[in-house]
Amino acid sequence: MSRYWSDIVHRLTPYVPGEQPALAHPVKLNTNENPYPPSPRVLAAIRQELGDTAEALRRYPDPTARKLRETVAAYHGIRAEQVFAGNGSDEVLALTFQALLKHGKPLLFPDITYSFYPTYARLFEVDYQTIALDDNFAIDIDDYAVENGGILFPNPNAPTGRPLPLADIERLVARHPDSVVVIDEAYVDFGAESAIALIDRYPNLLVVQTVSKSRSLAGMRVGLAFGNPELIDALNRVKDSFNSYPLDRLAQAAATAAYEDDAWFRDCCAKVIASRERLAAELGALGFEVLPSAANLLFARHAGYDAATLALRLREKEIFVRHFKAPRIDQHLRISIGTDAECDILLDALRAIFSTYAG
C-alpha cells in the first residue's frame, strides 16, 4: 500500500521512542520519566475541572491557554505574551522548525543530540548541518561560528546529560543576532541554568521547556516556549494554521497546578539529583565511565562489556535502559534516574551479569 504514500514519507526515517513495556512491574529506566508522582494539587485541579458531571468536556478548551501562560509567566517573572503553550515540547519544537528555522542557510545542531531534530528537519525540509561534540561529548560554542539559518541544541544535552554554563549560551546568542537560537531545556531543572533569564535582552533567543520531566506530567503532554513576543507570534501563526486547540482542558489545569506547587517541584528535583549522584558513584565503582550529568539520566559505558548485550541482559531481567546504535555512542547506555530502590535493582542486576558474563 506504500504506493499511496507521499514522496516525503518514503524519505522519512521516523523518530523511535523509548519502549513502553507491557509488563506488570518493569524497572523502567529508558524514557527519562520522573520516578515520583506529580503534586497532589494536580489531581485536585483535574477533579475540579471535571466537576461532578464533566460538563466542561463538551466545550472546547481555551485555545490560548491563557491561565497556564499567565501562571508560568508569573513564575519566571516575565509576561504572558512571552510564553507559548503547546501539546508537549515535541510539538512546540515542530512548530519552531516551521515558524523560525526554515531559511536559506543550514540549521546547526550537534551530531549527538535529541534524535527528533534530524527527523523534523527532514519532515519539514529544513537544510541542516551537524556540529560534532568534542572528545568529551561536550558542546563547544566556538564550533558554531559558521553561516547558519538557526542554532538548536538541548541544555543539558541529550542523551549525554552534559550542561553548558549560561555564560556560554549568552555568548552564542550574542554572536548570532541574525539567527534564532533555540535552547531545548527539557532537563534544565535537574542542575543546569535556564536561559529564560536572557530573553528580554536577546530577541533572537527561544527557550523550550516541558512539564514531562521535572514536574512529572509526561502523560499530560504540555510543552512551553519562552521568547520575544515576535517569536511567540510566529509560533501562534503556525499553530493556528494547524491546530487551534492543542491543549485540552485537563492538561491546562494539571500544568497550571504543577507550577503553583513550587515546594513539591523543588523537593522532587532534589530527590532525583541525589539519586543521580549516588547512582553515578555506584556505577563508577562497577567500572563504568559516567559522563557528568545535569539531567535526570546518566550516560555511561563500560570498557569490558558490550553495551547492546548489557541492555539485552537487563531487559531479560525486566530492567529497561536505552541503547543507541549511532556512531560514537554505540557502546553507551542512557540510564534514567529511578527511585533509589529501582537504582539498587539495576545495580544488583549489573553485578549479577558481570559475575557470569565475560565481554
Nearest to 333 by CA among 352, 319, 316: 319
Q: Which of 11-25, 92-106, 186-200, 317-331 has the lowest mean pLDDT?
A: 11-25
Residue 340 sits in the same domain as residue 255? no
Tell me the pLDDT of the chain averaged across its residues.
Answer: 94
Question: Which of 211, 232, 261 is the endpoint of a domain?
Answer: 261
User: What pLDDT was estimated at residue 130?
Assistant: 97
* Residue that terminates a domain, selected from 261, 276, 297: 261
297 and 235 assigned to the same domain: no
Name the residue among 186, 233, 225 with its Cα closest to residue 205.
225
Same domain, 125 and 208: yes
Give the chain's domain count: 2
**Residue 111 · residue 133 · CB < 8 Å:** yes
Alpha-carbon distance values, 144 to 97, 131, 153, 227 (Å): 18, 7, 11, 21
Domain around 346: 2-37+263-356
DSSP-based three-state secondary structure for 304: coil
19 versus 37: which is more confidently predicted? 37
94, 190: one domain: yes
Which CATH number do you get for residue 202? 3.40.640.10
Pair (25, 85) in one structural domain: no
Q: How far apart are the first and last CA of the chain?
A: 44
Residue linked to cell 516541558: 210
29/143 same-domain check: no
Is residue 286 located within the same domain as residue 340? yes
Write down the H helix ranges in the chain.
7-11, 40-50, 66-76, 88-100, 116-123, 166-175, 229-239, 249-260, 262-285, 307-316, 340-356
pLDDT for residue 169 is more than 90: yes
pLDDT of residue 14: 76
Contacts of 315 (CB under 8 A, 6+ apart): none
Assess whether 58 and 18 both reside in one domain: no
**pLDDT mean over 36-59:** 93
What is the rounded CA–CA span in Å between residue 283 and residue 297?
13
The arithmetic mean of pLDDT across residues 11-15, rounded, is 76
Q: Are residues 121 and 28 in the same domain?
A: no
